[in-house]
Structure 1
């Protein structure tokens, strides 16, 4: 923004060069000697987090500037930044926000770290809606002209040689998402995704779910990858784009079809877990479309398929969700709830859905052998599962020590890199 240098000269002094990067995450100056944002992003990614670049575009900023005198516009921007800062500091997820800055000319950019995989997308959507709502409310309570926001986000790829390039690429894609139809880059992204959907050009990998007692494969979860060697190979990029362009339903139904194809081709005899968001399950077309797949692959019993309700989307307000779950059960499908233990929402889902299978979130399992509180949480969740009549799957097992805690507490099933990494379903036939 043109006012940027004036604001920085007032709000910051260059002595902050000596401060830790995390202490200047709210609107840091554009340092020459170091960039605190790159430092924070690199640190988060080195610790295994995914990092999303979020662009918050103010579509009416130019009009606001025309309506205000120069001094009034500076005051407006100060109030805008103050509102964002107060909102971000009040959130439970404030520690996950690495930085927010105003280097781009028509809005703000945030960097947010996430520990989860594709299940974090619903959380990110919910967080952005909450942030925007709170800032809009702050303007409604003042006499200021309310800003109009568009948002877009994209995750930083980990394959780049230079992190600066990866951040810039993610920013440009996020900006394209925020600009949407008027932006050429956005149209390119939509075209790429529409080709993937039209040609069903996704790949499925399978990760075993192990019987803790026997150490044998009980089932496999199907994991999606985009076309190899493309920008959308990464499932986070693929599903981020799908959510923001309304292709999510079509993409998830292709995953279902591909999973049935692989079961048929490999003659897989164990259970298969297939992920669905509540939005897809609640779609009025869902039951009709899933029945069509069953008829096409009539030799595969739905009793061998577990519909895993993934991501932390709320299913409140989804008119067809509850009825569609009932129909799925009538057809023979098993129902699993993901991310249990990650928050109240997942526990509420259990009471509403009464799932056949409960998957305990990685946040509970990580370092459980060193944390007695986490083990107590595990025991509590096992009691809930027993009350509901659900089988328990512990996710994200990465060490023998974590696995031993599961065995000691008689957890039914487990999944994670300690047992096996995702690969093709046929590769698991030899050890199943």
Structure 2
């Protein structure tokens, strides 16, 4: 009987060779003729997505193995895999590229993701949700409770061989999961600490246009890491900063660099600077931002918009609300990003009452071909009018999308249709 089961399993595995890659996303076999993961990662990247490699390391797997007989242990692993598959199918079925047991002490997920550093909070929340659901399922079945450590990294788009880029991202993600017990993690910490210590980042600026006049109203500052390195990509840089507790220092360097550029270029329009809720809620934040204001006395806070970038909740951040009040007293404008991306952003509007609402590009994309999206835009414009907020539509990529904004009297717009990010001084010449 066992022999027949083994033969059947082998035939089933070989049968997968002839299936489309999208049909073998769950624990695919490693083929000599092709690798379905590489194929699907490449396809996602060609369609404009980022791809995250997420490692879920089971720290007590060796102890579990010692507690169980061999057959029971293999059964436990099968139950664990099934639990992950069921959870993923109910949460991120459309975004999942593959889940694999590369790591002998855990599992690895490949997920396609929208571009932009604002997605990092969602990714953190998603991983926590998956693990919570898996743990709950295992507890309900009476299985031994696994202890997870997680890490993630985005696959670098500038690569010679995609397989090498995937392997590098996996090694980094594994190092993040292992944390201090891994020498690779220590290298990453050293690299980021060196970037922070030397402030070796640079900023690009993307114009925010007045829809009616088609003139520059403001610029949003966008962060890039050291040129020519894998951390030049802001997703790589900020995902590493979040996992190594350097996020606050990094965002304060961005603030300082933005003020430096405003001073050097004598920029006269508004500047948007991104901050995560956790940074705004830091007890040091007001003290540190006042120090920057004193250093750059000629720059009025009234020309600076603090853009709250993440879709996750700011609840539980003790100093967040009070720090926001102080920012307003100092003259800063407050913007909420990603409006329309979910309940959290709408809830943020009611709590923060922002001066500016930025409508997420998921609402704007192909809005000229989708009447439901235009209705959503109209609803968000009514909310903004009720709050007294100026509206910025993000991610405009075509004249047709821009025409819908003009028709609905949207105040401001931002996107590649108007201009790609470049140095602030370049925009000074055309403003």
Partner of 2:266: 267
Partner of 2:18: 18
Structure 2: how far apart are the matches of 1:11 and 1:194?
51
Cα gap change, 1:222 to 1:11, in 2 (>3 Å):
farther
Structure 1: how far apart are the matches of 2:284 and 2:93?
38
SS of residue in 2 equivalent to 1:181: helix
State the 1:343 CA deviation: 0.8
Does the 8 A contact of 1:362 with 1:396 survive in 2?
yes
Partner of 1:116: 115
Cα gap change, 1:223 to 1:138, in 2 (>3 Å):
same
Structure 1: how far apart are the matches of 2:247 and 2:105?
29
SS of residue in 2 equivalent to 1:222: strand
Does the 8 A contact of 1:8 with 1:29 survive in 2?
no
Partner of 1:179: 178
Partner of 2:358: 359
Give runs of aligned pairs for residues 23-422 of structure 1, distance below 5 A.
23-91=23-91, 93-422=92-421
State the 1:19 CA deviation: 2.2
SS of residue in 1 equivalent to 2:94: helix
Deviates more, 1:302-311 or 1:102-111: 102-111
Structure 2: how far apart are the matches of 1:313 and 1:204?
25
SS of residue in 1 equivalent to 2:175: helix
Q: Please, what TM-score do these two structures have when normalized by structure 2?
A: 0.97
SS of residue in 2 equivalent to 1:397: coil
State the 1:18 CA deviation: 2.4
Does the 8 A contact of 1:210 with 1:216 survive in 2?
yes
Write the deviation string for residues 253-312 of structure 1: whole angstroms up to 9, x where unpaired.
000011011111111000000000001011111111111111111111100000000021
Does the 8 A contact of 1:212 with 1:414 survive in 2?
yes
Does the 8 A contact of 1:12 with 1:29 survive in 2?
no
Cα gap change, 1:7 to 1:380, in 2 (>3 Å):
farther
Write the deviation string for residues 223-268 of structure 1: whole angstroms up to 9, x where unpaired.
0001111121110000000000000000000000110111111110
Structure 1: how far apart are the matches of 2:74 and 2:324?
53
Structure 2: how far apart are the matches of 1:11 and 1:235?
45
Structure 2: how far apart are the matches of 1:123 and 1:107?
22
State the 1:201 CA deviation: 0.8
SS of residue in 1 equivalent to 2:129: helix
Structure 2: how far apart are the matches of 1:326 and 1:146?
44
Structure 2: how far apart are the matches of 1:11 and 1:130?
35
Across the two proteins, how many residue pairs are aligned to each other?
426
Write the deviation string for residues 71-109 of structure 1: whole angstroms up to 9, x where unpaired.
000110011011111111111x32111110112211100
Structure 2: how far apart are the matches of 1:188 and 1:12?
42
Cα gap change, 1:332 to 1:260, in 2 (>3 Å):
same
Structure 2: how far apart are the matches of 1:209 and 1:322?
27
Partner of 2:3: none
Q: Please, what TM-score do these two structures have when normalized by structure 1?
A: 0.96
SS of residue in 2 equivalent to 1:192: helix
Structure 1: how far apart are the matches of 2:392 and 2:8?
51
Cα RMSD, aligned residues only: 1.4
State the 1:8 CA deviation: 10
Structure 2: how far apart are the matches of 1:224 and 1:411?
27
SS of residue in 2 equivalent to 1:13: helix
Cα gap change, 1:66 to 1:33, in 2 (>3 Å):
same
